Chain A
Amino acid sequence: MRTLRFLLQKEFKQIFRDKAILRIIFLVPIVQLLVLPWAADYEMKNINITVIDHDHSPYSRQLISKITASGYFILQNYTASYKEALIDIEKDKADIVLEIPASFQKNLITKNEAKLFIAVNAINGVKANLGGAYVSSIIQNFNQQVRMQWIQMPRFSPQLNIEVVPSNWYNPQMNYKYFMVPGILVILVTMIGSFLASLNIVREKEIGTVEQINVTPIRKYQFILGKLIPFWILGLIVLAIGLGISRFFYGIISAGSLWVVFGFAAVYLLAVLGLGLLISTYTVTQQQAMLISFFLLMVFILLGGLFTSIDSMPHWAQLVTRADPVSYFIEVMRMVILKGSGWADIKNQLLIVLGFAILLNGWAVVNYRKRY
């Protein structure tokens, strides 16, 4: 016990003495949490639109002002021909081109129908998709409006209308930050756990201190615990800081108990630290450890459901995500913080992550050798 206590003391001393590491542990996550949620926002704003209005009628003007007034679009340019508009797209100045034909108003009134032409720059798939959808829905709405003006109200509605009014549960305003912040926090905690723990152990190999340590009566478990416990504590501290930032900066108040969040994080960190330890047993230099951690983390993040919904992945990819501890924590964080889930709801995830912890740590301990 005395040895372990001293090992921990030494480890903390080293961490707090290394200013760069200290900044990485505390400052970087804070900055990331303050900046990233604003960037990782799926709502499309500032879509540039170029309009070719051959009609110049009150209706066409009404339509254009309706589009620009929506707040999603910036009217980039009026051009006289489609050719000129296409140049805007080629120069990446416009994302969407809307062409209104010459007899738009006339056709609308006389024939009860009119055609519009929309061209979308699909270089950025998300932007194209959402921008196109926004324009269509605005035009639909305009259409509705026009019809309303003309209709002589009959006794009964001539057309059966099914109106769908969605109600968004757990995140009524569809605020992306509520959804992203807990996920980003998971990534930060994961990085502290796996990166720093593996780098720390590999560093001892690299500078040769492990050679000296190995010729001492230190037990394997003492050395390993001495390395894991500090980062376990630091991970929980970073989580606490992160939750504080989401509370005071983004107004995210956990709907569920924070005990559940921290309880799950405590187990989750064991799994992540086990991964770090495992990486360190297979690598000899910090560079190797760093690259392996980086590649693994990249896969974990992209498969973890932070940016894309796991449910919309192909079936085989969904199976792969089951081997991704990050996905469970992201899921649990969202469940607890947004939905207010309790222990009973996250029981499965907890057991699976516990399984990861046992598997990864066990593997690492078996593979960790004091002699060769």
Chain B
Amino acid sequence: MPSVSAKNIVKFYETKNDKIQALCGISFNVTKGELFGIIGPDGAGKTSLFRILTTLLLADKGAASVDGYDVVKDFKEIRKIVGYMPGRFSLYQDLTVEENLEFFATIFNTTIQQNYDVIKEIYIQLEPFKKRRAGKLSGGMKQKLALCCALIHKPSVLFLDEPTTGVDAVSRNEFWDMLKKLKQQGITILVSTPYMNEAALCDRVALMQLGKILSINSPAEIINQFKKDLFAVRSSKMLSLLNDLKNFNEVEDAYFFGAYHHVVMKHKNEEQDLKNYLSKYSNDNLEIKNIQPDIEDCFIELMKQSHEIELH
């Protein structure tokens, strides 16, 4: 039995003279103990999907279950066994760290002591501030507290809606380390994020765009499926370089990527052609190297493909 399953979920948001389709038939299964990532830009429908799975929102079509419980019929059961951490900090800012934790423990009919082992590793870092009000914590600490509160009843499935948005790089790495440890305790984790580089840290990843899932695969498999040649190109005039690249017939796609432009070629073995082409223009200090794609390149490719399909 999958830990979380969604079948053809559709959700509309209706306004007075407009009907926006937020989710257009989402289906996936998450196995028990899996760290499942949902990656997509803002507005892809990640939060709507999470709200449906955590019984906060009713889907217009389709069915979903969490730990075998139907999200519509057995919502009461689901609320007992899932942990949910909304994208926005949603704890009581005027209660202390300890009081917040105690409050959530109590409403789940448990105590901090009873499930201390689940949160121990995370809570140890919060312990020095346990008498501080939650509103006065730093962003990273707030996020740790929110995670503790979502875990205090030992949930079997954990939903984390953009937990790393607006958090610094160090805290983000720490956070993913914590998730890996939680996974070892057998908790199924669904995490959504707009950061593509975080996808590599999940067991499996669903790429979402405009309410659709473009692909579901393990990060390694997604990279394997990228068959084209990829180059990183750099020169002293990056902007004109990008225009030059986009004007070249043999180039399928070119985009900013850190200090380089990444260039996807239409055909194999065209490095020399690219060099010849670029040297015709005033590109000083030209540097071209053949590179292995990382997951972000794959997503950009997938999104481009789906966009083209939509246009035709």
Contacts and interface: CB of A to CB of B under 8 A. Distances in A.
B300 to A, nearest CB: 33
A214 B80 contact: no
A29 to B, nearest CB: 23
A212 B88 CA distance: 10
B92 A215 contact: no
B26 to A, nearest CB: 18
Contacts of A217: 76, 79-80, 107-109
Nearest to B159: A215
B176 interface: no
Contact of A6 (B90, B92, B107, B149): B107
Contacts of A68: none
Interface string A1-41: 01100110010011001100000000000000000000000
Q: Is the interface of B mostly helix, strand, loop or mixed?
A: loop
Contacts of A208: 86, 88-90
B103 A372 contact: no
A371 interface: yes
Interface string B172-214: 0000000000000000000000000000000000000000000
A207 interface: yes
A113 interface: no
Most buried by A among B54, B86, B92: B92
Contacts of B79: 214-217
Contact of A216 (B92, B95, B99, B108): B108
Given A10-B103, A217-B76, A371 B92 contact: no
Instruction: Enumerate the 9 nearest inter-chain pairs by beta-carbon distance, A residue then B residue, closest first.
Output: A208-B90, A212-B90, A215-B84, A6-B106, A208-B88, A217-B80, A216-B107, A211-B86, A215-B54
28 contacts: A2-B106, A3-B109, A6-B103, A6-B106, A10-B92, A10-B95, A10-B103, A13-B99, A14-B92, A17-B94, A209-B91, A211-B56, A211-B88, A211-B90, A212-B90, A212-B149, A215-B54, A215-B79, A215-B82, A216-B79, A216-B104, A216-B108, A217-B79, A217-B107, A218-B107, A371-B75, A372-B56, A372-B58
Given A6-B106, A208-B90, 15 more contacts: A3-B106, A3-B107, A6-B107, A10-B103, A208-B86, A212-B104, A213-B107, A215-B82, A216-B104, A217-B80, A217-B109, A218-B107, A371-B55, A371-B56, A372-B56
